[in-house]
Every structure is written in structure tokens, then in C-alpha cells.
A and B are shown apart, each in its own frame.
Chain A
Amino acid sequence: MNTQYSKRLLDEGLITPESYKKIRQKQSNLLFSVHWEIKTVLYLGVMLLSTGLGILIYKNIDTIGHQVILLMIAAISAGCFFYCFKHKKPFSKAQVKSPGSLFDYILLLGCLSFLSFLGYLQVQYGVFGQNYGLATFIPMLVLFYVAYDYDHLGILSLAITNLALWLGVTVTPFYLLYKNNFDSERVIYTYFGIGLLLIGAAHLSEKFTFKKHFRFTYLHFGVHMAFISLLSGYFYNYEQPLSIVWLFMLFILAFYCYTDAVKHKSFYFILLVVLYSYIALSVVVVRGLITMDSEGALYIVFLYFIVSAIGMVLVLINLNKKFKAK
């Protein structure tokens, strides 16, 4: 704490002289932490190394040196896993505190190079043959196992990405929103299925207190996928009268997520539920008004957005208050 503040608080009698002394003492030998700098360096190191090695084998795949590179990658992967195995804490159903950031990133490097290794084997020797499902299924199993056994959220995200890949789609919300191609019903159903599966996984993790802290990661992916696939399902079937069923399902899901978020006091999921349901609601209103097909309807659309957005602001502010009061 700044000297001027602590002195003033002392003079006003708000803090005791002992506390003041403690604060001054801390101030005089303040330690400078480079924790986040080192973490960033570790993160960059793992990312660059695995990317570099990935391109390296890709480019040298037909040359003589490729076996050396293959061996090198296998050695890196094995070395990383050996290190992590040696330093690992015993498995527990609760959260296991990691031995340190180095451990986390070494484990990540091990997993990434393991994936490169498997990919290489598949391309060069076709170990999984034409069975591409198996080629993504096995890495997925390994990743889920590592995520649970070593308690690593990053690997869990990787595993979820791989789960979707195995089913033939990509998952991160950014990709969903910006590069989406929901051109077939199958893709929409797949996304929706995975979304529900992940939400279910989040629910079960908590219910059985089995790695309860994985809940957030599951729910984050699950909620985005479920909502976006429901919205796209509606637009895909826009011309059919039954398309409204998609939105109906969306509101049911929103209600479930809302009660869940209130229970966990999660502002993030409250925000998601509010925004996604607002979009769905607006879609219905605007569609209804467009069918009127008059100039007056256009004015009402504008008025609707002004009034409803003000309403949403009030909803958010009130929800925030309600949470704080609890």
C-alpha cells in the first residue's frame, strides 16, 4: 500500500499501529514477481516448438531424414510423459493441484508431440488404414485419459476438440460464429448432440463430484454449441412451419441454463443465456412484423429494438443486484 494512504488511515485511527508497521515492513522488502512473464514464455515455447516440429515432418515426409525426425518427436513425447509420470501426484476425484507450471506445459508438449507422432504414422505407414474414425478416436481417448489422470484443463479442451473432430465437426465458439457452414441437417444435429453431451458431462461431473472443476470447461463448449446449433436449426428450416420447434427447444435450454447459472452464481453463463435468448426472441418478433409487410411495421421493428434492449439492460442490472445480495 502507498505510504500516503496507510499514513492517513493510521492518523484517522482506522488501522492499528501494529497493522501499519506490518504494511510498512512489507512495502520495504517487496518482492517482484515474474510469474506471468515466465508462464507466457513457457506457453510460447511449447507452441512454437510443437508447431515447428509439425511443419518440419510435414515438409520432410519423403526425404531420408524423416525417420530421424520421427524418432526425435517420439523421444520428446516419451521424455515429457516420463517427466510428468515421475512428478505426478496420485489420482484423486477432487481437484489435484498441479506440481507447477513447468509440469503443466511439459505435459501439454508431450500431448501435442504425441498427436504429431500419431498423425505421422497414419500418413506414412497408414497404421489405421482407411479407418479415419479410429485415427481420431484413439488420440481422443488418450487425451481424455491424460486430462483426467493428470488433472489438466488445457488437455481437456484439446480432448473436447478431438471429440468433435471424431464426429466430423469443429467446435470452438469463434469458429462456430465466424466460419460456420451449417449447410446440412446432419451437421446441425451433430453439433446439437455434442452440445447436449457436454452439458450433460458438466452436470454429471458435479453430481458425482468427479473432477468437479472440469464443469466450467464442459459447460463453456456445450452451451455455445447447443445454442448456436438450435439457432441455425431454426434458420435452416426457416420456410417450414415446424421451425418454431427449434426456438421452443432453445427457450427450454435457456431456462435450464438460467437456473443452473443462478445456482452457481456464474455471471458468464447468465450473460450467454440472456444474449442468446434475446437473439431468439428478436428473431421471432422481427419475423412476425415482416410478414405484416407495411411501412409501419418497419417503424415498429426499430421501436421494438429500442424498448427491448432497454428492458434487457434493466434485466441484466437487476440480475447482477440479485446475485450480489445473495
Chain B
Amino acid sequence: MIAYHKIWLYNLLVQEQVEKEYRTGNLTDAELKNVMEKYPVGFYTPNVFIRVGLFLLTCVIISFAYGLVTLILIDTKLIVKPGYFLFLGVTVYIALEFVIKNMNHFRSGVDDALIWISSGLILSAFYLYTDAQDMRQQDLAIAGFMVVLGCYFSLRFADVLMTAATFLSFIAFIFILWNQIPGWGLITMPFLMMAITAGSYLLCRFGRHKAITVHYSNCLIALQVLSLLVLYLAGNYFIVQTLGSDIASDKTPQVPFAPFFWTWTIVLPFIYIGAGIKKKDVTLLRTGLLLVAAAAFTFRNYYHLMPIEATLALIGATLLLAAYGIMKYLKTPKHGFTYEIVDEENIMDKLKIESLIVSETFSGTPAAAEGTRFGDGNFGGGGTSSNF
């Protein structure tokens, strides 16, 4: 099913693992060399910067190539027909298969771009088709088509973002479908979503480390994170209330089972964190930490205990103290936890990417010029560390 050379994919996994062991000093030079020779990888996979460049340039090539074709056909009625887009999409898809099979591209930027362009064009073709047919259930049909198309592309190319998009289309599909049940469709929606996402999470956990999913491990992680997020959002008080009132067009909706949803909103993130610590599961832990913020925002949306700036300062101080406490506590590793970096993998890459992100994060509040109060950019600037 997967488009890439299967043996090379497997060898790549072996190489990655062996390199990791080599870095920690468990393997000798000779052993590393042996394994690398016995498990060769013939993919063309450039580093991340070249990948970005190739991605952009591939987009330029495809758009101008199709621009040219469209320009030639401009006087015909062909260019608004769904068949035309389908033709374009299929051509790009053939190019994609060619690049992978014959030029051995793997996550090179070229294949990434072609995956998205071809699936996008095929989806546009379907959209035009439903439009032309005046289809009654257009939303539902499009969501359903996205699921089918996304499943195919995800399975064939093991692309993480594509998997995520497919999962979200699936959720949308179920939502639209269930919402059509008059009367109790909307009321039971949160519980249906909870059941589905809990199911998909358990399924992903069950599917890890199986021979059949060996090349999809990153996709499974993405699915786990999304399942956990949607599972939380399905019971989040704010989401339940807003969606409920939007769809029912009821001005003052009473949220049924309010205590249940409030408990869900506040307690679930901590359950994630607790389970993450207990199972030493990074996915659960990080998702939980993220959702604590969501819980705090939800709470603040309904109960104003103090002004926003005081809240910010207070939370900031609490976070600093908490971090300080944990660092002190883990000075010597306890219960299998440590503050030290266990694997120094890609630390140089991280340095560059982190410092780039940091310098961009704060550009949204450009320090104002003269005349404005506080014109010295006291919120600006980044916090990258120099300790790498």
C-alpha cells in the first residue's frame, strides 16, 4: 500500500535507532559502519532548509505549468468543468508516483508539495461536481469525500499532516450526519464525539508497535494527539454552549448536564497529565499541559475573578515557581524522571529552529515609535537560551 520503497523504509528505522545508540556510546564505530552497510537507504531526503526550498519551487512550477495550460484553453468552456480539475489532479498524482518510484524522493519537499497539490485539485473537482449537480447534502458529501481521499493519501504516503486532516474531516462528517437527527441529535452530540474519539485513541494505542503500522508511527502519534484534543473539546463547557446556541439559534440556551461538563472541562487535563506521568507517555503529558491552558481560559470566560493583567502576572509567577520546584526536585533523577536531556539528538537543529521561532514569535507587538507610551518594546524580544 505504501508508495515508498518498503525495505529502505525499514532500513531507515534501523539506521535511526542504531545512530541513537551510537551517540550514547553503546556502539563502536565498526558496528555502526557494519549496520549502515548492511541496511542501506537509497532515498533522496535533503535537510529541512532544502526541503522548504524544494517545496516552494515545486509549487511555483506546478502553478505556472497549469497557468500556461489554462491560458491556452482560456476561450473554451473546459476550464470550469470538474473534469478539467480532475485531469490536472490526476496528472500531478502521476508525477508524484513517478518522482517517488523513479527518483527515490522521500520527504524531499517535492513529494510533499505534490501530495497536497494533487489531493487539493481532486477535491476541487469533486466540489465543482457537487455544485453543478445542485446536490442537497453538499457539506456531507464533501466531508465524506475528504475522508475517503484523505484515507487513500494517508495510507499511500504516510503523511502526518494528511492523516490529521483526514481525521478532522471524519469528525466533521460525523458531526454533520448526526446533527441531522431532529430532536436529540444535538443533545447527544458531545457523548457521541467522546465515544468516537476515546475509541480512536484506544485503537491508536493498541496499534502502536505492530508490524503493520511500523511505517505509520508518526501518523499514529498525530491521531492520538487529535483524539485527545477532540475528546476534551467534546465536553468543554464553552464549546458545548457555543455550538449548541449557534446551531439551535437559541439565544439563551440552557446547557443540560452543566455540572458534568464543568467537571469534564476542569478535571480532564489533569487526568491526562496524571496518566502521562504514570505511563511515561509524552503524548498524554504534553496534551494535558496544553489543555490546562484551555481549561483556564474557559473558566475565565465565565467567571471574572480579577483583571486580565493580574491574572497573567499571577499565572506567570506560578509557572516560574512550579518550574523551579520541579527542577530542584529532579536534581537527581527520581522515579525514572530526569531534567537532563537523555538523548542529544538533533540538538544543533533544534538550536537554529528554536532561535528562529523565538525571534519571530514576538514580532506581532512591534515596539512603537516615539511618542507612544512605552515605546521601548518592553514586551518584545525573545527568550532563547544560550546554553546549547
Contact = CB atoms under 8 A, between A and B. Distances in A.
A42 B387 CA distance: 14
B374 interface: yes
A31 B333 contact: yes
Contacts of B355: 153-154, 157, 216-217, 220
Interface of B is mostly: helix
A94 interface: no
25 contacts: A14-B35, A19-B27, A23-B26, A30-B336, A32-B338, A32-B342, A34-B330, A35-B341, A39-B385, A41-B319, A45-B320, A45-B322, A48-B312, A48-B316, A49-B313, A52-B311, A52-B312, A105-B320, A115-B378, A151-B386, A152-B386, A158-B377, A172-B362, A298-B71, A316-B57
A164 to B, nearest CB: 9
Interface stretch (A53-61, A231-239, A249-257): A53-61
Given A34-B326, A46-B320, A15 B308 contact: no
Nearest to B209: A2
B337 A316 contact: no
B336 A116 contact: no
Contacts of B35: 9, 14-15
A313 interface: yes
Given A30-B336, A309-B61, A139 B363 contact: no
B305 interface: no
Interface stretch (A190-198, A200-208, A240-248, A267-275): A267-275
A168 B372 CA distance: 13
A232 to B, nearest CB: 17
Interface stretch (B47-55, B120-128, B191-199, B231-239): B47-55
Interface of A: 1-2, 5-6, 9, 12, 14-16, 19, 22-23, 26, 29-35, 37-56, 58-59, 95, 97-105, 108-109, 111-112, 115-116, 118-120, 122-123, 132, 135-136, 139, 150-155, 157-158, 161-162, 165, 168, 170, 172-175, 179, 216-217, 220-221, 267-268, 270-271, 274-275, 298-299, 302-303, 305-306, 309-310, 312-313, 316-317, 319-320
Nearest to B380: A161
A145 B290 CA distance: 36
A174 B363 contact: yes
Interface string B295-318: 000000000000111111111111
Contact of B71 (A49, A99, A104, A302): A302
B358 A157 contact: yes
A220 B313 contact: no
A266 B113 CA distance: 24
Contacts of A154: 355, 358, 381-386
Contact of B60 (A48, A98, A298, A305): A305
A12 B38 contact: yes
A34 B336 CA distance: 11
B77 interface: no
A305 B337 CA distance: 54
B228 to A, nearest CB: 16
Contact of A1 (B21, B67, B360): B21
10 nearest A-B residue pairs (beta carbon): A49-B316, A52-B313, A52-B312, A48-B316, A158-B381, A45-B319, A98-B387, A172-B363, A55-B309, A45-B320
Contacts of B28: 16, 19
Interface stretch (B12-20, B81-89, B131-139, B150-158): B12-20
Contact of B384 (A23, A35, A157, A165): A157
B359 A306 contact: no
B387 to A, nearest CB: 3
A306 to B, nearest CB: 5
Contact of A270 (B49, B352, B376): B49
B179 interface: no
B353 to A, nearest CB: 10
A131 to B, nearest CB: 10
B213 interface: no
A310 B369 CA distance: 44
B366 A33 contact: no
Contacts of B21: 1, 19, 23, 26
Contact of B376 (A109, A136, A298): A136
